[in-house]
Amino acid sequence: MTQATVLVVDDEADIRRLIRDILVEEGYDVFVAGTAAEARDLRSRHRFDLVLLDIWMPDTDGISLLTEWSKSAPLPTIMISGHGSIDAAMEASRYGAVDFLEKPISMAKLLQSVERALLSRTSATLKESPDVYLGTEPVGKSPLIHRLRQRLLQVAQTDSPVLFTGESGSGRERYARWLHQLRKRPGSFVSITNQLLDGNLTHLTDAIQQAHQGTLFWPELAELTATAQRTTRDLIQGDSQSADTRFLLSAAALPSIHSDVASGKISRPLFDALAVITLDVPPVRDYREDVPELLRQSVNLLVDTRHLPYRRFSVAAQNRLRNYSWPGNLRQVLNVVEQLLVTGSGDEITLEEAENLLLQENPDLSLDLLHQDWLALPLREARERFERGYFQAQLRLCEGRIGRLAEKVGMERTHLYRKLRHLGIDPTRTSEESD
């Protein structure tokens, strides 16, 4: 059974490694962060099912971070502390913590707590996502977005299954939800996980009932197990639909889906059944001219839904952000805007604020020749800087998966590991995922 994706946040490296090793051994996908800043960055770029969060950290304490997340994008959270107290546990539970672990951590207690927390996540997956973008009409005047918007309006006239392809964070679920609204279905839009398809028929039945006269959506098709793929195919072909449970289906996949089908990772019958209509969702870097409008939309949505202070972007700040590569796509746009609204002061967001935040987002990554002044460097140093930036960017786009990275850049795994070590890139630190 495919396990969930877990984020471990603890300032003690030994504790991070211990928890990661235990959970990876059990089959979980694990990312780790040593600071609140790293944790925020990872949450802006990845989808997690569970967080293990240390209470005592140097930059921002775990309770404050939990409080911050509970207001915007809550997740089942297990708090960790070496100084357990009833007061701390009670405060954490008020903001959504589902359990409390004391150090030294018992392996049995850890696994039991994680399993219990993930069960609580199951019901949460049937609810609307708190992402403020979801369901909003796509904005932008670029030819790419205009064509996508027109295509969605056409597809809305059909009841066919739809496959949305695009990079992580590009807004695939956002467009799927907007399509659901355009189709004017009376039922709900239900986003489900592998856990609902792997062995727990009660959970799957609940999802189907909630999606009656609505839409069932799979956030990442490539993550479906063989069992889940068969179940999905049966749903598409109508084997599991009765008169009381009629629904439409949509799913999301990475651009590598065709190679995934060729390799057998995704079954051909499932792909053929789902790809009746395929919509390609472009990465933000392909429609940078729309970034100023995306920034304004993000500000308005965050002010309205999260009650953040209104601030406007200066022209210089907009131009800088328009020329940024946005490896995390729309998810990163929203995260950057939220940080600028929360941490800044004054009515205007300045170029300096935008520059400083981009450096925090990617401290080792800048492919801007004007800022790097590569032309003044010796060839060897310039090439090494480019390779370091290139592999870091590709690693993020591949969500830290070394196998996917090796396939994308055309290198053997062994050679790739040597190259990353030579460039000083630690995949487990850059992506915080154990491959």
Give pLDDT, residue 216: 82
Q: How does 122-155 read in b/e, with b if 16+ C-beta sit within 10 Å?
A: beebbeebebbbbbbebebebebbeebeeebeeb
**What average pLDDT does range 140-151 have in this prediction?**
92
pLDDT bin (cut points 50, 70, 90) of residue 69 is confident
Give pLDDT, residue 124: 43
Q: Which of 98, 62, 131, 141 is nearest to 329 (CA)?
A: 131
Residue range 20-68, pLDDT digits in tens: 999 988 888 899 999 988 998 888 788 788 999 998 887 788 888 888 8
Is the alpha carbon torsion for 120, 121, 125, 130 positive or negative?
A: positive
191 within 8 A of 148, measured Cβ to Cβ: no
CA distance 184 to 181: 5
Give pLDDT, residue 121: 56
Cα of 330 vs its chain's centroid, Å:
10
CA distance 100 to 93: 9
Give pLDDT, residue 85: 52
Q: Enumerate the β-bridge partners of residue 338.
A: none
Domains, the chain:
5-124 (3.40.50.2300), 143-282 (3.40.50.300), 287-361 (1.10.8.60), 375-430 (1.10.10.60)
Amino acid letter for position 279: L
Contacts of 429 (CB under 8 A, 6+ apart): none
Q: Which of 212, 67, 185, 222 is nearest to 126 (CA)?
A: 212
167 within 8 A of 329, measured Cβ to Cβ: yes
Residue range 280-310, pLDDT digits in tens: 999 999 999 999 999 998 998 888 788 888 8
**What average pLDDT does range 15-22 have in this prediction?**
91
Is the full-model pTM beyond 0.95?
A: no
Whether omega for the bond prior to residue 104 falls within 30 degrees of 0, making it cis, is yes
For 153-213, strand residue ranges (E) read 162-165, 189-191
Mean pLDDT of the chain: 79
pLDDT at 155 over 80: yes
Please give the C-alpha separations between residue 178 and each of 77, 173, 189, 277, in angstroms, as whole numbers. 30, 8, 10, 16
Residue range 88-105, pLDDT digits in tens: 666 666 667 888 888 888
